[in-house]
Amino acid sequence: MSVPLGPIVLEATDIEKYFGPNHVLHGVSLAVRRHETVMLIGRSGSGKTTFLRCLNFLEEPTVGSVAMGDLRIEADPLQRAGSDRKRDIRQLRQQTGMVFQEFNLFPHMSVLDNCIEAPMHVKGVSRDEAVATAERFLDKVQLLDKRDEYPDRMSGGQKQRAAIARALCMEPEVLLFDEPTSALDPELIGEVIVVMEQLAHEGSTMIVVSHEMAFAREAADRVLYLEGGSIVEEGPPEQILDDPQEEPTKQFLRRFLSEGAKAPPAHATEPTSPFDDPIAKATSLHGGGGAG
């Protein structure tokens, strides 16, 4: 927001995905510009997480392509392509950091080792350099004092911040967030959102699947509403959240906002009680949930 948008860095074209006979993505396209923060919202089962996972080929799209810089990778559902494509995918993954709902930190490594593993062994950076980078980003997420701690001894919020630092250490072009706060206790959501907002304001390029509407207002440049595997509506956050044009979007937001205080049916583990942490309150309406 504070940083003007640059050229397109990542472009997904007509992504379709079938899980067996289930058609979960009906041709979703998205072009993300440098420094842009795009937020994907929608009820669970709308395909938003699947779409995000198609962008770095953790999920193999059935149709479509993803382009980034010189790379252009076509869907290859029958795995006919050879090792060149695998190399391209690894190349793409090096330039896209991902943050998962369940953190997925490596439990047998310290926070620092989590952060330097990929820079050292994928980018081939020297250990000293990798450690220096890791310390810089751990400081950014305020975990420098936990550098030698093991993930199992940290809180959920600390783990997720460490996971963000790990992704940042590859200095990726684009950051992908897959419901980064959905597995967190309500009082821990705020500390993760604060870090994400800081990143967005500093000009990171981010694609975020989340239900944190306050984050959308505060940090997103564009909000996409997905339903049934298609983009129903997109636009700046004020427009989508306050003045949606399409009926499905209106319905979703109406139900979402009215059910915000209660547990929405889609996600049994969603917090039910309002909480008093001012940071968390300010940054989250925290209703809704579920793996999109």
Q: In what order do the strands lie in the sheet with 8-19?
A: 22-33, 8-19, 63-68, 71-74
For the CB of residue 132, give the shortest distance to another protein in the complex, in Å: 18
* CB closer to another protein, 171 vs 277: 171
SS3 content of the chain, % helix, strand, coil (to 5): 40, 20, 40
> Nearest Cα to 57, choosing from 40, 76, 38, 71?
76
- Alpha carbon dihedral 129, 169, 196, 254, in 10-degree steps, equals 180
- Measured CA to CA, the distance from residue 154 to residue 137 in angstroms comes to 17
Residues in the interface with another protein (CB under 8 A) total: 27
Q: Which of 94, 142, 230, 239 binds another protein (CB under 8 A)?
A: 94
Token readout for 137 is 């980003």
Instruction: With contacts defined by CB under 8 A, name the span among 117-125, 129-137, 246-254, 268-276 that binds another protein.
Output: 117-125
267 interacts with another protein by CB under 8 A: no
Q: Which of 45, 85, 150, 271 binds another protein (CB under 8 A)?
A: 150
For the CB of residue 33, give the shortest distance to another protein in the complex, in Å: 22
Which residues 33-62 are close enough to bind another protein by CB under 8 A?
A: 56, 58
142 dihedral zone (left: phi>0; alpha: psi -120 to 50; beta): left
118 interacts with another protein by CB under 8 A: yes
- Measured CA to CA, the distance from residue 151 to residue 257 in angstroms comes to 34
- Measured CA to CA, the distance from residue 32 to residue 56 in angstroms comes to 14
104 interacts with another protein by CB under 8 A: yes
* CB closer to another protein, 157 vs 237: 157
241 interacts with another protein by CB under 8 A: no
Please give the residue ranges that form the binding site for another protein (CB under 8 A).
Answer: 56, 58, 90-91, 93-94, 96-98, 100, 102, 104-108, 117-118, 121-122, 150, 152-153, 163, 166-167, 170
